[in-house]
Amino acid sequence: MDFEPSDDRRVLADTLTRFLAAEYPIAHRNAVAYAAPYHDPDKWARLSDLGLLYALAPEAQGGMGGAGFDIATVFQPLGAALCPEPVLAALLSARLLVAAGHDLDPLLSGRTRYAAAIGEIDAPYDPAEITCAAQGGATGWTLHGRKSVVYGGGTADRLLVAARASEAVGLFEVASEAVEITAYGMIDGGGAAEVFLDATPAALLLPDAEATLHDALDHGALALCAEAVGAMDTAQALLLDHLRTRQQFGQPIGSFQALQHRMVDLTIEIEQARSITILAASRMGAEQQSRTVSMAKSHIGRTAKLVAEELIQLHGGIGMTWEHPAAHYAKRLVMIDHQLGDTDFHLQRVMAGYRGA
Amino acid sequence: MDLSYSPEDRAFQDEIRAFLAEALPARLSDKVRTGAELTKADMEAWHAILNAKGWLATTWPKEFGGPGWTPVQRHIFEEECCRAFAPRVVPFGLNMLGPVLMRFGTPAQQQAYLPRILSGADWWCQGYSEPGAGSDLASLRTRAIRDGDTYVVNGQKTWTTLGQHANRIFCLVRTSTEGKPQQGISFLLIDLAAPGIEMRPIRLIEGGHEVNEVFFTDVRVPITNRVGAENEGWTIAKFLLGHERTNIAGVGFAVQAFEQLRAFARRPRGNGRRLIDDLLFAARLSEIEIELEAMKITNLRLLVAAQQTGAPGPESSMLKIKGTQIRQALNDLARRALGPAAAPFPLEALEGNAALVPLDQAANAARYFNSRKLSIFGGSNEIQRNILAKAKLGL
Ligand SMILES: Cc1cc2nc3c(=O)[nH]c(=O)nc-3n(C[C@H](O)[C@H](O)[C@H](O)COP(=O)(O)OP(=O)(O)OC[C@H]3O[C@@H](n4cnc5c(N)ncnc54)[C@H](O)[C@@H]3O)c2cc1C
């Protein structure tokens, strides 16, 4: 048994961590994360030049990784630095394009930006409930309906859209110029978009894509878990520093046993979250992939919220302010539960595993 | 044991309902329902409506212009105001300074300030906390040094809620460094137009501006603006804390949030299904409802006890802790109820065709983050636990 990362992954993590620390200090991160286009296009290009996106795809498709641990290696530093770049959109898209046998290089090199338009207002997490319609005709396919909260949708060149054609949910590609897009910033930073499809011409990539969509969403959920672990580590460090330095009643507040116990409980939860994320990363592509990812995402949903709430509470008033990094870590940690399935959605997927067992 | 309101209380409730139905402008209740920011003019307008009826200063005795209500009647009033989505009465002048002046102020101070609180001529804010003095309030360092008939004030206050609308601030200042920290504190009334005062906004986690920092540089304050004796401000601060704790449970706000969330969860969605039919969601909502039902009774038990003994005891700390937990849990669930649609930054307000959720839900995430303050201010929940451990349990 060995819990040490491989040398390649360690180098990638270190490179990324150094880059993010230098390029996304919190003031810069906030400046770009909360104002259109809700990320930093120059730094996105430089991140791509680092080869970051290649780590998200398997070698057979021109990438340099793509395994669960590669994804975790990329997303944990992104979370630790609260990086607002649309890497999740790239990961989801890469998984979809791999399944479609598509050339990945435009995506992995950062030249073409893709976003995955899967969720809808009434089908927020489960592709089986998608109602967007695809119609085939003599001149090709057209798409009809609306996709909601498409991460990175406001800055994408191309959209990968899940839509229902007669019985099966298919995967389609459309050019961003061909659709009406309302882009907006999110409360925790970063950008998303509403996508309106109105007889939009589309290319069919996969006629029956449900399993592929589930697989992509599993990978996305794993990435969010790793991102949360990274953000929780930074949150814990911020909090420890505050408990050691903030003085009230003539002593550091960290000397109050009531707060020490809270901090210890948090630490235990964070380590549990890290462990379940490691387990999920190890099962990507293996049996139990979905159920284990759901265990991790359900755990993270609870734990990240707990860390966020304690982060604010134990900071006191200062933790409520925009000026303090704690507030932004807290927002990200809470809002991760709103992406690709919340704690109860994934709990239900874990529960479903008991059926027939 | 009889849990029902007396016939008099019920008649009183009917009277309040009738008044609210007639007097509360829809443009105000709509804003409260949707979580839109109330302007200064909105708050002043509602104060004026209540004042015209004689129901603005609900905690004041009749001789000072209050309605002379019992705690139970005040509770009914607050409950009904929440049910009707009335704006919250700004508490600093009415529920904090008013009672202080009645108890500790000179007749001249009472005559000068109390009518102006009622009429809205003055908007007060609370200058207690400092960057270095939060939970440990007695360590405050803003200095007031006597110079003839005036104090010269230097220092900084922070977290001053709605200070941007205020023209006056009541402050705890240090007038002596001798003895225990509590012994050298005085209570001053300061005109924010005085030279040497600067107010700066603090932006909160969700982006809103409701608190400020206030800097004092050689600000001259007449000694006649001191309330109570010099160095006895801590007695006033403790007295005021008791008043801050009226309605501390916030039951009315919790009921309001619960009803809004339940109504939302019962609405059929585009696919015909309802959130309330999701068993896990229903379980979460039910758990909160159970706590809320218990809280209503805990609150009334303590209210009735306070009505008999004349003062709220350390048990009010229980109301603060449990009341804020319930409100925060409701805000949490309301945010989660939206799924991915909770994400848009509220200032981006997706409208019309682009709207993701009904208008009254669009600020749910912002409301959740903002409501984290409930367990921090007014004595943090940790400090309330310290109080309970010591004063109630004798540990
Ligand atoms: C939105 C908002 C509005 C406010 N409005 C006003 C206002 O209008 N006027 C005003 O004067 N003040 C106001 N306050 C200030 C508020 O009263 C303080 O934030 C509060 O007293 C906590 O102080 P602090 O923020 O300095 O936190 P700290 O006192 O530094 O506390 C940090 C953490 O340590 C914990 N802690 C501290 N001491 C102990 C202990 N002995 N045992 C266990 N735990 C402990 C606290 O509970 C908290 O979790 C406001 C605050 C906020 C957030």
Which protein residues are within 6 Å of ligand 1, measured from CB? Answer: A 246, 248-249, 253, 256, 258-259, 313-314, 316-317, 320; B 126-129, 134-135, 159-161, 211, 373, 376-377, 380, 382-383, 386
| CA atoms within a 13 Å half-sphere pointing along the CA-CB vector of B133 | 19
Nearest to B372 among A121, A131, A320 (CB): A320
Q: Which residue matches tokens 């057209």?
A: A142
Q: Which residue has the tokens 């601030």?
A: B169
Interface test with B, best of A294, A320, A334, A342 (most B CBs within 10 A): A320
Select from B93, B157, B170 the least CA-distant residue to B129.
Answer: B157
Assess if residue A328 is contained within a domain. yes
Chosen for mutation from B200, B212, B336, B380 (greatest number of chain A CBs closer than 10 Å) is B336
- pLDDT of A357 above 80: no
- The CATH number given to whatever domain includes residue A94 is 1.10.540.10
User: Counting beta carbons within 10 angstroms of the beta carbon of residue A192, is it exposed (0 to 12), middle (13 to 18) or buried (19 or more)?
Assistant: buried
> Range of A139's domain?
115-208
Spatial distance between the Cα atoms of A74 and A80, rounded to a whole number of angstroms: 11
Q: Which atom of ligand 1 is nearest to the CA of B211?
A: 3
**Predicted confidence band of residue B349 (pLDDT cuts 50, 70, 90):** low
Instruction: Using the mean position of ligand 1's atoms as its centre, give its distance from the Cα of residue B387 in Å.
Output: 15
pLDDT at B305: 85
Same-domain status, A244 and A326: yes
pLDDT of residue A255: 98
Q: Cβ–Cβ of B135/A316 closer than 8 Å?
A: yes
> Does A254 lie in the same domain as A201?
no
The two three-digit tokens of residue B271, written as one number: 């696919």
For A32, A52, A153, the CA distances from A114, given in Å and listed in that order, are 20, 15, 8
The CA dihedral of A237, A239, A243, A246, to the nearest 10 degrees, is 110
Question: Are A262 and A329 within one domain?
Answer: yes
ipTM of the complex: 0.97
The structure tokens 């200062």 sit at A318
Q: What is the mean pLDDT of residues B23-32?
A: 95
**Strand A168-175 and strand A180-185: pairing?**
unpaired
Q: Which residue of A has its CA nearest to B379?
A: A316
Q: How far is the CA of B304 from the centre of ligand 1 (A)?
A: 30
Residue B244: predicted pLDDT = 64
Residue B285 lies in a domain: yes
Task: Answer yes or no: is pLDDT of B313 > 90.
Answer: no
Q: Give how far Cα A17 sits from Cα of A10, A22, A76, A78, B254, Å.
A: 10, 9, 9, 8, 43
Do A193 and A124 have their domain in common?
yes
φ, ψ of residue B125 to 5 degrees: the values are: -130, 165
Residue B97 lies in a domain: no
What total number of domains does chain A contain?
A: 3
pLDDT band at A1 (very low <50, low <70, confident <90, very high): confident
Flag whether the pTM goes above 0.90: yes
Contact B344 A347 (CB under 8 A): no
- Token look-up 């959720």 returns B357
> Hey, which residues of B are catalytic here?
244
| pLDDT for residue A202 | 97
For position A146, which CATH number holds?
A: 2.40.110.10
Q: Is B350 on the interface with A (CB under 8 A)?
A: yes
Identify whether residues B68 and B129 lie together within a single domain. Answer: no
Neighbours of B119 (CB within 10 A): 13
- B372 touching A, CB under 8 A? yes
pLDDT the model gives residue A150 = 98
Nearest C-alpha neighbor of B217 from the set B187, B232, B239, B197: B197
Q: Please answer yes or no on whether B344 and A122 come within 8 Å at the CB atom.
A: no
Does residue B133 sit within a domain? yes
Same-domain pairing of B227 and B255: no
Give the per-residue pLDDT at B356.
Answer: 87
| Cβ distance of A338 and B340 shorter than 8 Å | yes
Same domain, A239 and A316: yes
- Block residue for tokens 């909090």: A239
Do residues B252 and B206 share a domain? no
For residues B151 and B225, membership in a common domain is answered with yes
Flag whether pLDDT at A317 surpasses 90.
Answer: yes
Query: Last residue of some domain: A51, A86, A112?
Result: A112
**pLDDT band at B59, cuts 50/70/90?**
confident
In a domain, B299, yes or no: yes
The answer to whether residue A356 sits within a structural domain is no
**Share of residues in chain B with pLDDT > 70 (%):** 98
| B27 Cβ contact list (under 8 Å, min separation 6) | none
What contacts B61, CB < 8 A, 6 or more positions away?
A: B68, B102
Residue A235 lies in a domain: yes
Instruction: Share the mean pLDDT of chain A.
Output: 96
pLDDT higher than 90, residue B198: yes
A178 shares its domain with A216: no
Which range among B41-50, B163-172, B293-302 shows the weakest confidence by mean pLDDT?
A: B293-302
Q: Which amino acid is at A122?
A: D
Residue of B nearest to A301 (CA): B336
The verdict on A108 and A154 lying in the same domain is no
Domain containing B37: what range? 7-89
Distance (angstroms) between ligand 1 centre and the Cα of A50 equals: 44
Please, which contacts does B258-264 make with residues 24 or more away whose CB atoms are closer than 8 Å? B258/B288, B258/B289, B258/B292, B258/B330, B260/B33, B260/B334, B260/B360, B261/B285, B261/B330, B261/B333, B261/B334, B261/B337, B264/B334, B264/B337, B264/B358, B264/B360, B264/B361
Q: Could you give the CA distance from residue A161 to residue A93 in angstroms, rounded to a whole number?
A: 10
Residues A175 and A265 in one domain: no
Point out the domain boundary residue: A186, A208, A230: A208
Q: Which residues of B touch A184 (CB under 8 A)?
A: 344-345, 348, 350
Domain co-membership, A88 together with A147: no
What are the angstrom distances between the C-alpha of A7 and each of A78, A98, B50?
19, 26, 71
The percent of residues in chain B predicted with pLDDT above 90, rounded, is 81
**A267 in a domain, yes or no?**
yes
**How far, in Å, CA of A104 to CA of A94, rounded?**
7
Reported as a pLDDT band with limits 50, 70 and 90, residue B78 is: very high
- Domain count of chain B? 3
Model confidence band, residue A248 (pLDDT cutoffs 50, 70, 90): very high
Q: Chain A neighbours among B 60-89 (CB < 8 Å)?
A: none
A32 lies in the same domain as A47: yes
Is B379 among the domain residues?
yes
pLDDT given for residue B348 in this prediction:
62
Instruction: Judge if B290 and B383 occupy the same domain.
Output: yes
Q: Do A184 and B372 touch (CB under 8 A)?
A: no
> End of a domain among A160, A189, A208?
A208
Q: Are residues A135 and A186 in the same domain?
A: yes
**From the CA of B136, how far away is ligand 1's center (Å)?**
8
Task: Test A184 with B129 for CB contact under 8 angstroms.
Answer: no
Tell me which chain A residues have a C-beta less than 8 angstroms from the C-beta of B129: 317
Residues of chain A in contact with residue B348, where contact means CB-CB under 8 angstroms, are: 184-185
Which amino acid is present at A15? T
- The string of DSSP letters for A19-64 reads HHHHH--HHHHHHHHTSTTSS-HHHHHHHHHTTGGGGGS-GGGT-S
Q: Which residues pair with B216 in a beta bridge?
A: B155, B197
- Write phi, then psi, for B186 (nearest 5 degrees): -125, 160
Question: For residue B92, is pLDDT > 90?
Answer: yes
- Compare CB distances from A316 to B354, B380, B385 and report the shortest one's residue: B380
What pLDDT is stored for residue B375 in this prediction?
Answer: 97
The answer to the question of residue A2 being in a domain is no
Identify which has the larger pLDDT, B315 or A98: A98
Chain centroid to Cα A199, Å, comes to: 30
Residue-averaged pLDDT of chain B: 93
Nearest-atom index, ligand 1, CA of B133: 26
B32-41, B178-187, B241-250 — most confident range: B178-187
B66-75, B136-145, B308-317: lowest mean pLDDT where?
A: B308-317
**CATH number, position B334:** 1.20.140.10
Taking CB atoms and an 8 Å limit, are A187 and B134 in contact across chains? Answer: no
Does B177 share its domain with B132?
yes
B319 and B226 belong to one structural domain: no
| Structure-block tokens of residue B337 | 């109820």
pLDDT single digits (tens) A125-140: 999 999 999 999 788 9
Query: By alpha-carbon position, which residue is closest to atom 45 of ligand 1?
Result: B382
Q: Are both A256 and A197 inside the same structural domain?
A: no
Whose alpha carbon is nearest atom 34 of ligand 1? A314
Nearest chain B residue to A130, by CA: B271
pLDDT at A227 over 80: yes
**Which atom of ligand 1 is the closest one to the Cα of B386?**
42
Shared domain for B197 and B267, answered yes or no, is: no
Distance B219 CA to ligand 1 centre (A): 26
pLDDT confidence tier of residue B246, bands split at 50, 70 and 90: low
- Asked if B283 and B357 sit in the same domain, the reply is yes
B253 plus B383 within the same structural domain: yes
Q: What is the mean pLDDT of residues B50-70?
A: 92
Mean pLDDT, rounded, for A141-164: 97
